[in-house]
Chain A
Amino acid sequence: MRNEKELLELINVHLDPPAAEIKRKQNVSVSIKQENLIQALSFLKSHSYQHLSTISCVDWLDEGEFELVYHLFSYDDYINISLKTRIKREPGVFQTAKEIWPVAEFYERDIHEFFGVEFKGNDNLEEMILENWQHLPPMRKDFDTRKFVNDNYEWRDYNGQKHTD
C-alpha cells in the first residue's frame, strides 16, 4: 500500500519522467518520453498496476502532436495513474502495448479508426465501429462534422426554416 507521494518517488527513480504530479487525491499524472513508455507500462504492471482502464488519444492540432494516455489502476494502492506520452501527428506511428495487456489491441484498434494512429506490432487494425469510411478519421480536429453532415445529408425542410444550432 503506497500513497501518492511514495508512488511518485518510485516513478521518479525508475522511469525518469519529464513531468509527474499529483492531480487530486488518488490521481497521479505522469508524462513519459515515448521511447520509455512501453517499458514504463510493464514496470508499473509488475508493481501492482494491473488494471488498464483504457487508452485515450487527444489530438493537439496546433502543436502537431497526438497525446496517448494510458489509464492504470492498482488494486493494492487504489491510485489511478494517467500515463501520458506525445507522438508526432505525422506520421502518427507508435508501439503497441498488446504484449503487456492483450486487451490493448482493441483500444488501439479504436484509436486507429478514429485518429489514424498506426500501432506497430498490432496487426488487427481493421475497421471495427465505422463501415466503409472513406474520409479523414472522424475524431481528428481537422475533421469538421458539421460540414460533413451538410455535404452528405439533407435537412428536413420546415417551411423553409433551416435547422440551426
Chain B
Amino acid sequence: MNNNFVKGSWQEILDWAQNKSINMLHYCTGCGAIELPPTMTSRYDMSRFGIGPAATPRQADMLLVTGYLSTKTLRRLIYTYEQMQAPKFVVGFGSCTINGGMYWDSYNTIKQLDKYLPVEIYIAGCMPRPEAILDGLLKLKKMINNGEADGYKRYEENLEFYHQNQEAVLGEVQRTQ
C-alpha cells in the first residue's frame, strides 16, 4: 500500500516533469511543417511552454506528424517511432492525418493515422494555425500531467493490431529497436 503510494507519487512527479519538458522530434513529414517555424520562433515561441526541438529520435518525446503521410514516409515514421524511448507521444497534425483530408482519394497516402500509430491528440485544420498548434500542445501537456497520454502503453498492448495494419499497407516492416 505504502509502496504503491510512493510509486504513484513518483510517477506523478515524473509526469509533471514530462509535461514541463517535451522535446519534439524535428521531422517534417508533410506540408504542415511550414507552420512549425512560426510556432517555434519569435512570434509564437513554444519554448516558453517547455517544448523544444530534438535532433534525433533517441532524444525526443513527441512525434509531430505534420500532415499527410505517404506510405513511404509511414515506413520511416514507424522506424522512428520504434526508436524513440517511452514515454513517447504522437500528435496528428492537420486534417490529412485524421481522414485523409484533401488527399482522400490519393493512392499513396494513408487515411487514418491512429490505425498505424497510437495518436494522443489530433490538431485539425489544413493547415492548423500556430494558435491551434499551441492549443493542441497545451492540451497534450494537460493530458501528460494527468497521466492520460498513454499511447506508448496502448501500442505495447495492441502490438498485433498495429503491426497487422502496418503490414497491410507496407508489406514487410523491419522490426528493430
Give residues in A with beta carbon < 8 Å to B: 130-132, 138, 143, 145-146, 148-149, 152-156, 163, 165
Contact = CB atoms under 8 A, between A and B. Distances in A.
Nearest to B115: A154
Interface in B102-127: 104-108, 110-112, 115
Contact of A145 (B71, B75, B106, B171): B106
Size class of B's contact patch?
A: 10 to 19
8 contacts: A149-B104, A149-B107, A152-B107, A153-B110, A153-B111, A154-B115, A156-B112, A165-B105
A156 B114 CA distance: 10
Contacts of B171: 132
Contact of B106 (A131, A149, A163): A149
Given A149-B107, A152-B169, A153-B112, 11 more contacts: A130-B72, A130-B108, A138-B107, A145-B107, A149-B106, A153-B100, A154-B111, A155-B99, A156-B98, A156-B99, A156-B112
B115 to A, nearest CB: 7
Interface of B: 71-72, 75, 98-100, 104-108, 110-112, 115, 169-171
A137 to B, nearest CB: 11
Contacts of B100: 153, 163
A153 B117 CA distance: 15
Which applies to chain B's interface (DSSP): helix, strand, loop or mixed? loop
Contacts of B115: 154
Contact of B105 (A130, A143, A149, A154): A149
Given A131-B75, A156-B112, A148 B107 contact: yes
A131 B106 CA distance: 15
Contact of A163 (B75, B104, B107): B104
Contacts of B110: 153
Contact of B71 (A131, A138, A146, A148): A131
Given A155-B99, A163-B99, A146 B112 contact: no
Contacts of A156: 98-99, 111-112
4 A-B pairs with least C-beta separation: A156-B99, A131-B72, A145-B107, A153-B111
A44 to B, nearest CB: 35
Contacts of A143: 107
A163 to B, nearest CB: 6
Contacts of B75: 131
A145 B99 contact: no
A153 B111 CA distance: 7
Nearest to A135: B107
A152 B71 CA distance: 12
Contacts of A165: 105
Contacts of A149: 104-107, 111
A152 B111 CA distance: 10
A151 to B, nearest CB: 10
B76 to A, nearest CB: 10
Contacts of B107: 138, 143, 145, 148-149, 152
